[in-house]
Structure 1
């Protein structure tokens, strides 16, 4: 049991990540499955990573912050890459009428459902209300900080638009105009104090005090209600 508790997740993670590297670097990125072993390699890697997550130690002091880490991957790589193919593919270039639908599905549904699903899973696994709320709030701050917009022009083979301005509408509505790439970085860094403030807020302590006060008031009301003596 000691091995399972401490080392098994590392073994599973190592094998799973090696399998992921093989799938990512060797197997062709095509929708067609040419060989059965391509599918098997993907499934086996997938199962080992599931095992690593299942046996991951969940008693770390700041373990709840580990739940936030996947958001950095989503917002720093996956979503910008999907956005890139949407911008340079058929959505915006040749089918401008569907931009709103594409934007809504990706940013207002997919991104938010990732947030809600991860937070809900953490809560169902025993996470406290305060820590669960922090996970969602930190992810939301990261989303609106400009981190995703910076990542889009960093990891994708695309240059900043003419004039050197990034037209991120959620930033424009706040500052009143589009920002340059460097100004967007400064804008994102300005969110660090808010990020740290939320991370260190004693939400569970506040929720406990509110609950105690509400419970105390209810008890006082019950005591003040006169009883009828028959």
Structure 2
């Protein structure tokens, strides 16, 4: 049985097998394909800045411990509550995984005395980002989970945490207005061969999220024709 990227149909290099979209086939010891692992790393690195930007949206009335920022107009209460809940989830998730990782790495984690949540988040994400392989390898970690008003202890692994970080990053970008309609091209990047080419709606530019190369539509078509020509010549030689 194939071992596939844990992101499943959301995998950056997803494939279609027997009519079903699945994650890319990877070695059994890995949890994500290389591209998705980089996306996890980017999400972890971005969370502290996402937190700060969410504070700016909340303004001076934030109750999650961020630096006060004066805004000219108050947010509707339901949106404010959702943003504050997201910020708390960011801090709690990062703090839990940083604690688990610190035990494995045998480093001191919990600071003495009280600290601001934003500072805790930054410190946790730095530890996780600097030891991503060790974080993804964590297994059967017991964490306290709050769900629908109930608290319980659940076993989780680093891959669960990685998926949660991706989800938190996406939710933050939704509130920050940074998400756009993105078209995924069903062809590989001419430069790195990754199935991670995207084009934002209305844009003439195509970007590979794996190698960060940007193409104009004309340049992309030209490169594809060159690759096709090379493949055909190779087949003819064979």
Q: TM-score range by the shorter chain?
A: under 0.3
Structure with the bigger RCO (C-alpha within 8 Å, sep 6+) is: 1
Length-normalised TM-score, structure 1: 0.26
The structure richer in helix per residue is: 1
The structure richer in strand per residue is: 2
